[in-house]
Amino acid sequence: MIPKYVIIGSDDKGNRMHKILHNFINDNYKKIKIYDINENLYPNIVLKMNNICQNLLYNNKCSVDELVCLSITESYMSMASVSNKFPFMRCIPIDNINNISSYRTHSFANSISISNKCNLNNIINIFENFIKAPTHSECKCSDCLDNGKYSIISKLLVDIDMQIFGIISSPK
C-alpha cells in the first residue's frame, strides 16, 4: 500500500540523503504528504515523529497502514530501538534491501531506520520496496488470516498499545 503520509527524520549526517529522498518522493509520488524532521539527536527525531503520528492517527487522517516513518541517522540501530518504545511505531533497522517486504508484511513495520552510510540508490530502493510491500492487513497468506500466527501477534500488539496508551486509532 502506498502511504498517504511519510515522515522523514535525519540527523546532521543524514541530512543530505534526507533532502534527496524528499525530492525523489515529491517527484515520483505526488500524492504522498511529507513531513520533515531535522534534529541533531535521534531521541528528538523519534519524539517529533511520534507527535506527528499521534496527530495524524488521533485526528483520523489515516490508519497505521497509511503512514510510514523513515529515519536516516548515524545511530540507526539506536534510533530503531527508541522508536519501538512509542505507540504506532514498529521500526526496523535496515542497511540493505534483503527481506524488506517481509518486514513490512510480517513484522508489522511502518517505520524504518537507515544508516547514513547507505548509498543513495540503496536508500531509494529500500524506500520503494518498503512502501510497495503489502501491509499485514493486505496479506492473504495463511499466517495472516484471522486465526493465523501473524494475526494473533498483530492483535496482541494493538492490545498492548491500548493497555499502555489508552484508546487509540489502530489497524482494524
pLDDT band at 169 (very low <50, low <70, confident <90, very high): very low
Task: Note the pLDDT tens digit of each residue in 156-167.
Answer: 666 666 665 555
- What is the model's pTM? 0.82
| Cell 504522498 sits on residue | 32
What cell does 115 get? 544508516
- Asked if residue 60 has pLDDT above 80, the reply is no
Least confident among 58-67, 75-84, 146-155: 146-155
Span 1-28, average pLDDT: 94
Residue with cell 486465526: 147
Between CA 8 and CA 137 the distance in angstroms is 24
> Smallest Cα–Cα separation from 171: which of 160, 149, 147, 155?
155
pLDDT of residue 149: 59
Cα-based torsion angle of the residue sequence 60, 61, 66, 67 in order, rounded to the nearest 10 degrees: -100
Give per-residue pLDDT as tens, 76-124.
889 888 888 887 788 888 877 777 877 787 777 889 999 999 988 899 9
Residue 172 pLDDT level (bands cut at 50, 70, 90)? very low
pLDDT on residue 170: 43
Domain 5-137: CATH architecture, name and number where available:
3-Layer(aba) Sandwich (3.40)
- Pick from 63, 91, 58: nearest CA to 4: 63
The percentage of residues in the chain with a pLDDT greater than 90, rounded to a whole number, is: 38
**What is the distance, to the nearest Å, from the Cα of residue 30 to the centroid of all Cα atoms in its chain?**
19
Average pLDDT, the chain: 83
CA gap 110, 107 in Å, rounded: 9
Q: Who's near 77: CB < 8 A, 6+ residues apart?
A: 93, 113
Domain map (residue ranges) of the chain: 5-137
* CA separation, residue 137 to residues 7, 37, 129 (Å): 21, 28, 17
Looking at residue 147, what is its pLDDT?
61
